[in-house]
Structure 1
Amino acid sequence: MKTDDLIAVLARGVTPVDTDATRKRFQTALVWGVLGALAVMLSGYGIRHDLAQAAALPMFWVKLAFPLAIAIPAVLLTLRLSRPGMPLGKTWMALPLPWLVVALMAIATLAHASPDERLPLVMGKSWLSCAFNIAWVSAPVLVGMLWAVKGMAPTRPALAGACAGLASAAAGAVVYALHCPEMQAPFLAVWYMLGMLIPTAVGAVVGAKLLRW
């Protein structure tokens, strides 16, 4: 068989590779994961009754922007970690910035509060359950993100799992914020961040085992 004939046989029936397959896979995971998170939040907690009034307050939008600003770079890092040899670049530097902003706001709030007001500002009314609620609401997103990464080829499975967990937790925190009545910066800096770190840790542990080749 001539070389040209061999090439023709090998090329027969070959279809073009979808260069957008990775984006579509993660998009599917995020859409279904967020829908699942909404279902968990609505069925288990419900939307806060004063949502319209709360939406008129600047801190309500800060509460939404805080986890959203973490979710975006976390998703981008997860995409990069899902591909062998893909450099992380400087995207990781954006991860702590939202928390630092909220932490500075928290320090300023506590500095201007009287001593007997400081602890209530940090603890709020739901500190016992907030972090675990965020982790629970984000669970469907985490399942979707790990599914998306599993279909790729991560060479650092624990780190990829951790980034997938952080992205999931941040998305879950945005959804949970529609229920949560807490809006003080000290509370957000402590308990929302802790709620996002729980799925991050879970993602790292699960990813180390599940995302291996």
Structure 2
Amino acid sequence: MKTDELIAMIAAVAVPVKTGAASRRLRYALAWGIPSALLLMATILGVRPDIWQAATIPMFWLKVLFPTAVALVSFGLAQRLSRPGAGLGWLPAILAGLFIAIWLLGVFVVAQADVSKRSELVFGESWATCPFSITLLSVPLFVATMWAIKGLAPTRLTLAGAAAGLLAGGAASTVYALHCPEMTAPFIGIWYVGGMMIPTAIGAIMGPRLLRW
């Protein structure tokens, strides 16, 4: 069979991809990944016992909303990176703005605190386990988001893998916030972000291998 005939045959049976296929596939992945991460958190780490009292404190909502916002922006990035040639628009700038905002808030809080309190604000009681707990909770989300992107048409595989990892890390951080006793901006800006960066780095490294066609 000649090349022209093969191309013509493939074109004859090709059907257009439904609008919103990438978004739907990623939503399916999150619909499986988030409950799995919640179950993992509840069984291994446990929900903080004073969560209802903590929910009355504004910083509790900051540590929930910040990673949620990161996950939402990462969802948009993963969706666009799942399609060949799709532009990223303002999403990278918005993502950078979220990180810069939490870091600036953290610096402000530390600068305003007494010198004797600064170490506690930064390290809390769980700095050594926080990033790795987030990474653990991100595993089902990472698997689900990589599966979702693999079934689409990514061409920038390193970036697509990183976006999948950051989406998993952001969503896992939101889940982890239901367990975590820490509620300071410096802690969130360092250790929560560190927890998000681990699956992001893993995704960037594994993306070219796992997402290739």
Q: What's the CA shift for 1:19?
A: 2.7
Code of the aligned partner of 2:56: A
Identity across the alignment (%): 47
How do 1:1-213 residues align onto structure 2 when only pairs under 5 Å count?
18-213=18-213
Code of the aligned partner of 1:117: K
Unpaired segments ≥5 residues, structure 1: 1-9
Q: What's the CA shift for 1:185?
A: 0.8
C-alpha distance in 2 between matches for 1:149 and 1:16: 18
Code of the aligned partner of 1:75: F
C-alpha distance in 2 between matches for 1:158 and 1:141: 18
Moved more, 21-30 or 124-133: 21-30
For 1:134-158, what per-residue CA distance to the aligned partner results, in whole angstroms no more than 9, with x for missing partners? 0111111110000000001111111
Unpaired segments ≥5 residues, structure 2: 1-11
For 1:156-186, what per-residue CA distance to the aligned partner results, in whole angstroms no more than 9, with x for missing partners? 1111000110011000000000000000111
Aligned length: 202
Code of the aligned partner of 2:209: K
Code of the aligned partner of 1:127: W
- The answer (yes or no) to whether the contact 2:22–2:82 under 8 Å persists in 1 is no
For 1:105-133, what per-residue CA distance to the aligned partner results, in whole angstroms no more than 9, with x for missing partners? 21111111111211111010001100000
Q: Indicate how the Cα distance of structure 1 residues 16 and 101 shifts in structure 2: closer, same or farther if over 3 A, else same.
A: closer
Moved more, 21-30 or 74-83: 21-30
Q: Indicate how the Cα distance of structure 1 residues 16 and 190 shifts in structure 2: closer, same or farther if over 3 A, else same.
A: closer
Moved more, 87-96 or 53-62: 87-96
Aligned CA RMSD, in angstroms, stands at 1.6
C-alpha distance in 2 between matches for 1:21 and 1:189: 34
Q: What's the CA shift for 1:22?
A: 2.4
Match of residue 4 from structure 1: none
Give the ranges of 4+ consecutive aligned residues of structure 1 lying more than 4 Å apart after TM superposition.
14-17
Q: Indicate how the Cα distance of structure 1 residues 16 and 149 shifts in structure 2: closer, same or farther if over 3 A, else same.
A: closer
Output the TM-score relative to the length of structure 2.
0.90
Q: Indicate how the Cα distance of structure 1 residues 186 and 17 shifts in structure 2: closer, same or farther if over 3 A, else same.
A: closer
C-alpha distance in 2 between matches for 1:84 and 1:16: 14
SS at match of 2:85: coil
Q: What's the CA shift for 1:20?
A: 3.5
Match of residue 5 from structure 1: none
Code of the aligned partner of 1:28: Y
SS at match of 1:127: coil
Q: What's the CA shift for 1:16?
A: 7.9
Q: Indicate how the Cα distance of structure 1 residues 86 and 15 shifts in structure 2: closer, same or farther if over 3 A, else same.
A: closer
SS at match of 1:181: coil
